[in-house]
C-alpha cells in the first residue's frame, strides 16, 4: 500500500498537522459561539438577526478569542509548509517527531493560555517554544536547498 | 506526460484550489479599491497621497471587505493543505470532486453574502457548509495516518 | 541523493519560500518587540506584567507592524502553495527563478516600505509587483489542470 507515499516521517507529520488544523478550526468555532453568547457581532446583519443593531459591537472576550485564532493562522499555517518539506529531507524519525510534538503541545498550551487569560508570560512563552521547531525545520531545509538558489 | 504527477484527483483538486486562491486575491483587490473609492486609508502615507490626513480613517464597508478577506485567509489556506493531502489518500474521484466543489461554491457564496451584506444567516451558513468537506477530509487523512503518530 | 526529490526548480523554490517564511517570522518578532518598547499590549495580562493595566492600549506604530505582518500572511502563504505546485509544472528553470526572485524582492521591499512608512505608493507598488508572479503561476497551473476539473 502506498497511500500518502512511503515516507513514515511525512505520515507522522500529517497526523500532527491535521490535529493542529482541527484545533485551529475549534478556536474559530469558539469565536462564533462567543459572539452568540456575549451578543457581540461584527456585522449588523448578524446583530439584527440576534436581537437588534445594538449588538453590533465589540466585546473584550470575543476580541481575545479572535486574537487567539489569528495567532493560530499566523503560526500553524507556516508549520504546515515547513513540516511537510522538512519531512522530505530524511530527518531522523525520532528527531522529526520531537519537532512536531513540541510544536503541537506548545500551540495547545498557547490556545489554553490565550482563551483562559493565564498569567503572563505563559502565552508568549508557548509562542516562543512553538517557534523553536519551526525555525529548526527552516534552517534544516535551507541547508539542503541553498545550493539550488 | 507526467506534469504534476499521475494523480487525476490531485490535478482536479489543483483546479479548484487555484480558482479559490484567485477568488481570495480578488477580494483583496476589492479591499484596495474600496479604500480608494471610500477614501479610507489604514496608513497616513496613503491618505496624504489621496487627499490628506483626514482620510486616514476607518470606513464600515472597507472593514466589511477586510473581514471577508481575512475569513478567506482563515479558511481557504487550510483547504489548500487538506485538499492536497486528501487527494493522495486515493479517494473515489467522484467523492473527491464533490468535496472540492462544495467547498468552492460555499466559499463563493460566503464572499457574495459578505460583500453584499445579505441577510443572516446566509453568510454563516455558507461558512459552515464550507467547513463540512474540510472536516471530512481531515478525518479521512487521520484515518490513514494515525498509526504513524 | 534524492533528498527533496529530483526537481531542481522545486529545490530552488524552497530556498526562496523558506527565506520568505523567516522574513515573515521576523516581522512577527518586530511586532512583539514594538509592543514591549512602546508599552502597548493587546492583552491585559501582558500589560500587568509590564507595568500596569494602563499599557493595555493601542499604539499607531505597533498597529502598523501588525498590518505589515498580516499582509505577509495574506500574500506569502498563498505563494508557498502556488510556487510549490508551479515548480511541478516543468517550467523553464530561469523563468521559474525569476518568478521567485521578483516575489522575494517585492515582499522585502513591501516590508521595508511598511515598517519605515515610506512615501506612497512604494508599499502598494511592491504589493502589486509581488502579485504579478503569483497570478502568473496561478494561470500556468490552471493551463495544466483545467482538463481535470
Nearest CA in chain A to B86: A4
pTM over 0.95: yes
CB contacts of C74 in chain B (<8 Å) are 28, 69, 73
SS3 letters across chain B: CCCCCCCHHHHHHHHHHHHHHHHHHHHHHHHHHHHHHHCCCCCHHHHHHCCCHHHCCCCHHHHHHHHHHHHHHHHHHHHHHHHHHHHCCCCCHHHHHHHHHHHHHHHHHHHHHHHCCCCCCHHHHHHHHHHHHHHHHHHHHHHHHHHHC
Which helix (H) or strand (E) segment holds residue A21: the answer is: helix A8-38
Shortest Cα distance from B65 to chain C (angstroms)? 14
Count of CB atoms situated within 10 Å of the CB of B129 = 16
* A residues 32..91 contacting B (CB < 8 A): 32, 42-46, 48-50, 69-70, 73, 77, 80
CB spacing of B142 vs A15 below 8 angstroms:
yes
Which domains, from first to last, does chain A contain?
14-31+60-148 (1.20.120.550)
Count of CB atoms situated within 10 Å of the CB of A5 = 12
Count of CB atoms situated within 10 Å of the CB of A54 = 8
Shortest Cα distance from A8 to chain C (angstroms)? 15
What is the reported pLDDT for A60? 98
Nearest to A138 among C12, C21, C43 (CB): C21
B7 touches chain A (CB under 8 A): no
Given a cut of 70, the residues of chain A with pLDDT beneath it are: 1-2
Cα dist from B43 to C6, C86, C114, whole Å = 45, 34, 9
Cα torsion C30, C33, C35, C41: sign = positive
Residue C76: name the closest of C131, C120, C119, C118 by CA.
Answer: C131
CB spacing of C25 vs A77 below 8 angstroms:
no
CA–CA distance, C136 with C5 (Å, rounded to integer): 24
CA–CA distance, A26 with C90 (Å, rounded to integer): 38
Nearest CA in chain A to C32: A124
Q: What ipTM was assigned to the predicted interfaces of this complex?
A: 0.96
pLDDT tens column, B1-58: 457 777 999 999 999 999 999 999 999 999 999 999 999 999 999 999 999 999 999 9
pLDDT tens column, C18-48: 999 999 999 999 999 999 999 999 999 999 9
Shortest Cα distance from A50 to chain C (angstroms)? 28
Nearest to A15 among B88, B120, B145 (CB): B145
- Chain length of chain C: 149
pLDDT tens column, C42-78: 999 999 999 999 999 999 999 999 999 999 999 999 9
A143 touches chain C (CB under 8 A): no
CB spacing of A78 vs C48 below 8 angstroms:
no
Q: Which of A12, A45, A48 to mutate to test the interface with B (most CBs of B within 10 A)?
A: A45
Rounded to 10 degrees, the C-alpha dihedral C135/C141/C142/C145 comes to: -170
* Local structure of residue A11 (DSSP, 8 states): H
Q: Residue C39 — φ and ψ, nearest 5°? A: 50, 65
Amino acid at each position: 500500500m502506498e497511500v500518502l507515499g512511503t515516507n513514515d516521517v511525512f505520515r507522522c507529520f500529517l497526523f500532527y498537522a491535521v490535529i493542529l488544523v482541527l484545533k485551529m478550526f475549534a478556536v474559530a468555532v469558539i469565536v462564533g459561539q462567543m459572539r452568540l453568547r456575549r451578543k457581540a457581532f461584527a456585522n449588523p446583519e448578524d446583530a439584527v438577526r440576534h436581537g437588534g443593531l445594538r449588538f453590533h459591537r465589540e466585546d473584550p472576550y470575543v476580541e481575545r478569542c479572535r486574537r487567539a485564532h489569528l495567532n493560530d493562522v499566523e503560526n500553524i499555517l507556516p508549520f504546515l509548509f515547513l513540516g511537510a518539506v522538512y519531512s522530505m529531507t530524511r530527518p531522523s524519525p525520532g528527531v522529526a517527531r520531537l519537532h512536531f510534538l513540541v510544536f503541537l503541545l506548545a500551540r495547545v498550551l498557547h490556545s489554553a493560555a490565550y482563551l483562559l487569560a493565564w498569567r503572563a508570560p505563559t502565552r508568549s512563552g508557548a509562542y516562543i517554544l512553538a517557534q523553536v521547531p519551526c525555525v529548526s525545520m527552516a534552517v534544516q531545509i535551507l541547508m539542503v536547498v541553498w545550493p539550488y538558489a
